[in-house]
Amino acid sequence: MALFNIEIVSDDAIGGGNRADVLCEMGLAYATGRGRPVDLVAAHKWLNIAAIRGSDRAADLRADLAATMSKSDLAAALRAAREWMTVH
């Protein structure tokens, strides 16, 4: 399975399938350090976006992750998701 950074891949490259699932996988990759350094802010950002786009799994994972994060990190993750959503 190829790993890619969603920020540098065009919408067309993601192609068919459930895009929310791809975003959820990005969140999981950042949460677990799979193919990249662990970054809980980025993980929450991608899980949040995936949840907004309809992934129930991402919503559950996001809630679990949020419970372990500091308020400042959680605020940064929410800001990052909001910024990404306004552009995409």
Q: For the segment 47-77, what is each residue's pLDDT rounded down to a tens digit?
A: 999 999 999 999 999 999 999 999 999 999 9
The answer to whether the beta carbons of residues 28 and 59 sit under 8 Å apart is no
CA distance 70 to 78: 12
The answer to whether the beta carbons of residues 26 and 6 sit under 8 Å apart is yes
Read off the pTM: 0.80
Query: How many CB atoms lie under 10 A from the CB of residue 46?
Result: 29
pLDDT digits (tens, 9 = 90+) for 15-27: 444 699 999 999 9
Please classify residue 77 by burial: count the beta carbons closer than 10 Å to its beta carbon, then call 0-12 exposed, 13-18 middle and 19+ buried.
buried
